[in-house]
Structure 1
Amino acid sequence: MKELRCLVFTDQEVVRAVLDRRRRVKDTLPVGTVSRIVYHRNEGPEQEGIETRLSITDDDGAVTELALADTEVTAALVGYCMGRRIPLPVASDKMLHLINGALTLMITMNFNKAPRLVVAGAAEGAAADRMSPKRRIGR
């Protein structure tokens, strides 16, 4: 059994996520304002996924194209969600898709994996550690 979640992003959210990630990892950014964003579906066997192209216009009117790979945009959107405290499962497949022209992060969780075992004694000890020292005295 699998569960599928879809998060649909506006163009402004995609731009903000990509620019925030590039600043955080200290990648170079062209100077200017993002004037357009376009998504291209890659259909080849070598390249699969969605390519994102940002058109950046500087103060002189010159336009610079910034082509972003699928992996970079996916990482940026995951970081964007984490920054806004949107819970995302760690053990899941995350892929970009275009749905009605909007960039969508599809998250697939596989429930057929072996379950993680939790030892009863360890769980009780962990709960006791979270209690304040005053509450532990009575136990």
Structure 2
Amino acid sequence: MADEVRKLAERTAGSTRQISAMIEAIGARSAEAAHGMQQSLSAVNHSVTLAQGAFAAMTTIRQQLGGVAREVGDITGAIEEQRTASSAIAVSVQQVAQMAEENRHSLGTIAGSANRLEQLSRDLDQVVGRFRL
């Protein structure tokens, strides 16, 4: 019976060693899993930080685009005002050119009339000269 107890003790010791080895392996794998989870958590935290930065950048870009859109609207309004003013100036310049042409024509008529008056004055002077004593 001592032989059976000894064999049972040997088998129990062997089983205990196997169980201890399994527990150590499970502990090592648990440590690896915990380390992997810690790395994953760090990566997730880093990704969250990057996403928050990207969100902040997109918010800033959206706000700046709104400002740019307002400025483009202001510029468009100013261009329209300039176009209207330019059209009015073009009409005014055309009117001034027409008046200048009319003045040139009138000056030609006045010059012709002045020449005729001068000639009439000379003719009158000659006629009056004949009647002088």
TM-score by length of 2: 0.16
Does 1 or 2 have the higher relative contact order (CA < 8 Å, sep 6+)? 1
Greater CA radius of gyration, 1 or 2? Answer: 2
Greater fraction of residues in helix: 2
**What is the TM-score normalised by the length of structure 1?**
0.16
